[in-house]
């Protein structure tokens, strides 16, 4: 969330941010409501002051007649105050609704564009895998090796259901355990986080209100997380930290749930776009400094690049355009791994920073050297998401005889096995 004073003082900049991100929000209406809000707050505060003054005078009234006059006056003030408080409550509801729709300001380096098709490739690593035989896709490979069962998954879960089994399940555990060790060496504190989370934490990260149709909701009006970013950010909500505690570096693990409502008809087969999956997520809280945010953004992106490289997967890094940024993101990179049978790179990781957009909503603060309260900055990046990454692993490492070589980095977590057959 942006500070309302910043919005008022930089209205044209915020309008340009909304245009660049392709996010519709009526900022002129917000300014009108904000003026009305401030005027109404002044009226309410004035009436409260008058009511308090009359109340004190009642206690010290010299005669019963004066006391009765003061009581009558206080009743009138109370009625006026209640009416203006009700008006203020309605104004505040409308004001907050609009405030939650105001996007963060994208970095100047973010390119123009409407969708992920306009993202800009800035780096490639590894050679795109070539075969001297006709490669199989991950569905045929994994089904043939009894690593996955889509038919029974659909029977049990419904559309987009799946069972990972045998080497498919083992490969997932191997990835989680390897990632836990890999990122642990980079001083990330591991967390297993709640997956049922209160609505305010989704508003805090910016996933609500705009992504409501893509989030599973419980009968108690809580939500199921689509990323452990949400509960990890909630971990320090309404807290004041010492500056010396920063940066806070967490790697959160959780089952994740997404309705994929906006992708109807896309990726209906296979493991790319599922309702249920698992993810490890890097989350960092750092000092309120643009330079610090940029530094950590580059570092967490590098962490994930090196993780993917250690698996031997060809990939590229793209700089996301304005139209492919979320509400709160200042800048985002995607890492996309090579999928041979699709003959293209597909997203496996997203790395973003937010400045104090999220921490204002969560009220996560620290005291700087001068004792001034500052909102921390926040960042997050995928460490590894399964089963999506399995697509690239099995396709890139497939052999002509239908077996799959296991990436060397994962073999210690697969009982030393070299291939799946």
Catalytic residue among 347, 374, 411, 419, which? Answer: 347
Beta-strand relationship, 365-367 and 331-339: unpaired
Q: For 222-263, what is each residue's pLDDT tens digit?
A: 999 999 999 999 999 999 999 999 999 999 999 999 998 766
Q: Is position 12 annotated as part of the catalytic site? A: no
Q: Is position 388 annotated as part of the catalytic site? A: yes
Q: Is position 365 annotated as part of the catalytic site? A: no
For residue 56, what pLDDT is reported?
A: 76
Nearest-5° Cα angle at 354, 351 to 355: 135
pLDDT bracket for residue 353 (50, 70, 90): very high
Q: Is position 109 annotated as part of the catalytic site? A: no
Q: For 27-77, what is each residue's pLDDT tens digit?
A: 999 999 999 999 999 999 999 888 888 777 777 777 787 877 877 877 888
Is 266's pLDDT higher than 70? Answer: no
Specify the pTM.
0.92
Q: Is position 258 annotated as part of the catalytic site? A: yes
- Report the alpha-carbon distance of residue 228 to residue 383 in Å, rounded: 11
- Report the alpha-carbon distance of residue 269 to residue 249 in Å, rounded: 36
- Report the alpha-carbon distance of residue 335 to residue 319 in Å, rounded: 9
Q: For 316-344, what is each residue's pLDDT tens digit?
A: 999 999 999 999 999 999 999 999 999 99
**Average of pLDDT values for 178-185?**
97
Let me know: does 406 contact 420? Beta carbons within 8 Å. yes
* 3-state DSSP assignment of residue 107: coil
Catalytic residue among 350, 351, 378, 392, which? Answer: 350
Lowest mean pLDDT among 112-126, 267-281, 288-302, 404-418: 267-281
Name the maximum alpha-carbon separation found in the chain.
Answer: 106
Calculate the alpha carbon distances from 390 to 123, 135, 303 in Å: 22, 16, 19
Is 264's pLDDT higher than 70? Answer: no
Beta-strand relationship, 148-149 and 344-353: unpaired
**Average of pLDDT values for 147-172?**
96
**Average of pLDDT values for 112-121?**
97
Calculate the alpha carbon distances from 359 to 17, 239, 298 in Å: 19, 10, 20
Structural domains in the chain, sorted by start = 4-99 (1.10.287.40), 116-420 (3.30.930.10)
In this structure, is the dihedral angle defined by the CA atoms of residues 324, 327, 330 and 336, taken in order, positive or negative?
negative
Catalytic residue among 8, 19, 273, 411, which? Answer: 273
Let me know: does 94 contact 33? Beta carbons within 8 Å. yes
């Amino acid at each position: 969330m942006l500070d309302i004073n910043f919005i008022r003082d930089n209205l044209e900049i915020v309008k340009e941010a909304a245009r660049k991100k392709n996010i519709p929000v009526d900022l002129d209406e917000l300014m009108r409501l904000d003026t009305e809000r401030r005027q109404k707050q002044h009226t309410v505060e004035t009436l409260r002051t008058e009511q308090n003054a009359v109340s004190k005078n009642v206690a010290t009234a010299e005669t019963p007649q004066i006391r009765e006059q003061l009581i009558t006056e206080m009743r009138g003030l109370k009625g006026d105050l209640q009416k203006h408080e009700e008006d203020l409550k309605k104004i505040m509801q409308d004001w907050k609704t609009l405030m939650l729709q105001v996007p963060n300001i994208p970095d100047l380096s973010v390119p123009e564009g409407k969708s992920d098709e306009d993202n800009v490739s800035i780096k490639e690593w590894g050679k795109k895998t070539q075969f001297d035989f006709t490669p199989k896709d991950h569905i045929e490979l994994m089904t043939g090796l009894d690593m996955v069962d889509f038919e029974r998954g659909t029977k049990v879960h419904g559309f987009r259901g799946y069972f990972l089994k045998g080497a498919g399940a083992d490969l997932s555990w191997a990835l989680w355990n390897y990632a836990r060790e890999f990122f642990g060496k980079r001083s990330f504190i591991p967390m297993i986080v709640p997956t049922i989370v209160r609505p305010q934490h989704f508003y805090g990260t910016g996933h609500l209100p705009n992504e409501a149709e893509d989030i599973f909701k419980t009968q108690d009006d809580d939500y199921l997380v689509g990323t452990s970013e949400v509960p990890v950010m909630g971990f320090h909500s309404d807290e004041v930290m010492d500056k010396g505690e920063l940066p806070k570096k967490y790697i959160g693990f959780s089952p994740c749930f997404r309705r994929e409502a906006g992708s109807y008809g896309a990726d209906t087969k296979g493991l790319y776009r599922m309702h249920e999956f698992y993810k490890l997520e890097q989350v960092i809280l750092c000092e309120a400094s643009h330079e610090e945010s940029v530094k950590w953004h580059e570092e967490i992106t590098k962490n994930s690049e090196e993780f993917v490289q250690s698996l031997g997967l060809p990939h590229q890094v793209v700089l996301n355009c304005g139209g492919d940024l979320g509400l709160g993101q200042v800048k985002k990179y995607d890492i996309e791994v090579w999928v041979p049978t699709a003959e293209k790179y597909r997203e496996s990781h997203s790395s973003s920073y937010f400045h104090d957009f999220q921490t204002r909503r969560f009220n996560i603060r620290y005291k700087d050297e001068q004792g001034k309260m500052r909102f921390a900055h926040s960042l997050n990046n995928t460490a590894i998401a399964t089963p999506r990454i399995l697509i690239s692993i099995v396709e890139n490492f497939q052999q002509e005889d239908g077996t799959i070589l296991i990436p060397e980095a994962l073999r210690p977590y697969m009982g030393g096995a070299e291939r799946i057959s």
